[in-house]
Structure 1
């Protein structure tokens, strides 16, 4: 019972009274996949390590979960997943109807795996399907509503997008560090788009280094890891634009907090001086007075202008006035 513990201090040793995630999974009688889902849902809290090693689980957390009513069955039920056939049976509909509801965005996958044909097989929380059946019983019987038919006729498939949005939002809630949050958002862009938003190669390298990983670390064959990376990337114009804007905003916060590390441990910081040029105003500030600025492309353009102005001011030598835009 949760006896693995090591000495610790702020310099990076493992916290006392903690166990490795594998040990915690065993004590909670969960499979690795079930444990990962429980962490994703916030049912199990991990403790980050200051040395950047694998996160661990506090013994108190293990004991809290083991002492809950109905353990371990109740915990397993909350992370139990089903595929299309089982999910359709649970909802009392055909597998084809289940797939249509998922493609239309009514059902959000919690995870996936690759079958022997290397095709993505989505899995859903049985607990969430039960809630959906109680809330949306009208969608399970009779003719599909017009909005659902329109989505399907247009070739819409929200499964990857909904899975990605859920994962991104959950990862963002796990940290308040702006650079770590920016790393989560950076994962949603392909390398070309990322280079357009983050033009500093050292910042891109830093974001890649602190990219969040699963609790058990990189696992599975290379194809599975490549599929995960591919699914994490936004694939529709509106989503890509939203992720770019979100990343730009998070980078602004990160750069204000600290600079990305440079080679040899050098840090570049540009504290604002009293005589520096005033920053560009928030691009959302005059959205009401300028409808064009409120549009997504207008917002992105204004944020880009502000970023160029900030970089110009940062590189300005003391007493030389503002550098021109366009650098």
Structure 2
């Protein structure tokens, strides 16, 4: 029975708050560990996000150096502390980050609504310890990199988006959720062009995550976070558009989006409350959920565009 299945699942897993306490982590540290894939979660069958299997807690507690090693693995630093950690001036640290050589893992907005980028301390130590990076840490910046900076290069937001997309894809539970993860980084106008069907677009938007919470909805801070979340580089947009187009094809094959029934003479109830229709959808006839076709397992996994790039990147936490 569904009720007994739910009870069993809750007996073998715990909510994030309890998991964070069990692991000796602050909630922000726990959330970052989940983002980085260091803590495995499972969907909460009763709704309300994800839960942590008790076996995962046992695995983490059994690791060498627990809990200090886990806490250190998710420690983040800003520009000043990061520069000190790498033994370089803050100005050089900022140049390296703008060039995309140091990848931020999160950001926040200070009281002046300035974006403050945060980096994994462990990754900065690894970068500084790599002998191949020594020329970047001392002496003059190579001419081709200086030219990029002179042209206004700043890849911090783009690199954060790539990392955030990796998290969203890890949390996605199905094809429509994966399509929504890609769509989360695109402007609504781009999505409308790629997904012209209003009912399909409404269904996609159900699974399109918003930006990390920063301020009340509609506030200047929230608007700035939304801009950071939205791709603005032509190459990045092109990759995301290609991947969204492919993801939509796969989502349609898995389960078509719900749409009006063919019989327009029947009663016209409201569509499900969690599937808002766009203004251009027109009158709504009888709402029907399509039957879910059998899952296809014979199609090889595709690795192209930005999703393929993310899969091929051998960078921990992305």
TM norm structure 1: 0.74
- What is the aligned partner in structure 2 of residue 153 from structure 1? 150
Q: Structure 1 residues 221, 64: closer, same or farther in 2, change over 3 A?
A: farther
Task: Tell me: higher relative CO, structure 1 or 2? Use CA pairs within 8 A at least 6 residues apart.
Answer: 2
Is 2:69 the partner of 1:71?
no
Is 2:258 the partner of 1:236?
no
SS of 2:119's partner is strand
Aligned residues: CA RMSD: 2.4
Q: CA deviation at 1:225?
A: 4.5
Query: How far apart in 2 are the matches of 1:88 and 1:153?
Result: 22
- What is the aligned partner in structure 2 of residue 246 from structure 1? 243
SS of 1:242's partner is helix
Q: Structure 1 residues 37, 20: closer, same or farther in 2, change over 3 A?
A: same
SS of 1:245's partner is helix
Q: CA deviation at 1:171?
A: 2.2
1:29-40 matched pairs, under 5 angstroms: 29-40=24-35
Q: CA deviation at 1:226?
A: 3.9
Does the CA-based 8 Å contact 2:128-2:134 persist in structure 1? Answer: yes
Is 2:283 the partner of 1:261?
no
Q: Structure 1 residues 172, 189: closer, same or farther in 2, change over 3 A?
A: same
Does the CA-based 8 Å contact 2:78-2:119 persist in structure 1? Answer: yes
SS of 1:9's partner is helix
Give deviations 1:52-71, integer Å, cap 9, x for gaps: 32211111211221222211
Query: How far apart in 1 are the matches of 2:32 and 2:137?
Result: 27
Is 2:14 the partner of 1:19?
yes
Is 2:5 the partner of 1:9?
yes
- What is the aligned partner in structure 2 of residue 199 from structure 1? 196
- Equivalent residue in structure 2 for 1:99, among 80, 94, 101: 94
- What is the aligned partner in structure 1 of residue 116 from structure 2? 121
Is 2:126 the partner of 1:112?
no
Of the structure 1 ranges 242-251 and 168-177, higher mean CA displacement relative to structure 2 is found in 168-177
Query: How far apart in 2 are the matches of 1:219 and 1:190?
Result: 19
Query: How far apart in 1 are the matches of 2:291 and 2:22?
Result: 46
Query: How far apart in 2 are the matches of 1:212 and 1:31?
Result: 24
Q: Which structure 1 segments of 5+ residues have no match? A: 1-6, 272-327
Q: CA deviation at 1:102?
A: 0.4
- What is the aligned partner in structure 1 of residue 313 from structure 2? none
Q: CA deviation at 1:16?
A: 2.2
- What is the aligned partner in structure 2 of residue 164 from structure 1? 161
Q: CA deviation at 1:202?
A: 2.1
Q: Structure 1 residues 269, 47: closer, same or farther in 2, change over 3 A?
A: closer
Q: Structure 1 residues 34, 8: closer, same or farther in 2, change over 3 A?
A: farther
Q: CA deviation at 1:240?
A: 1.1
Of the structure 1 ranges 132-141 and 13-22, higher mean CA displacement relative to structure 2 is found in 13-22
Q: Structure 1 residues 78, 236: closer, same or farther in 2, change over 3 A?
A: same
Q: Structure 1 residues 8, 140: closer, same or farther in 2, change over 3 A?
A: farther
Does the CA-based 8 Å contact 1:186-1:247 persist in structure 2? Answer: yes
Q: Structure 1 residues 166, 94: closer, same or farther in 2, change over 3 A?
A: same
SS of 1:15's partner is helix
TM norm structure 2: 0.76
Computing the radius of gyration over CA atoms, which structure comes out larger, 1 or 2? 1
Give deviations 1:194-250, integer Å, cap 9, x for gaps: 111111222222222223479xx9675434544433222110122112111110011
Query: How far apart in 2 are the matches of 1:219 and 1:67?
Result: 35
SS of 1:57's partner is strand
- What is the aligned partner in structure 2 of residue 173 from structure 1? 170
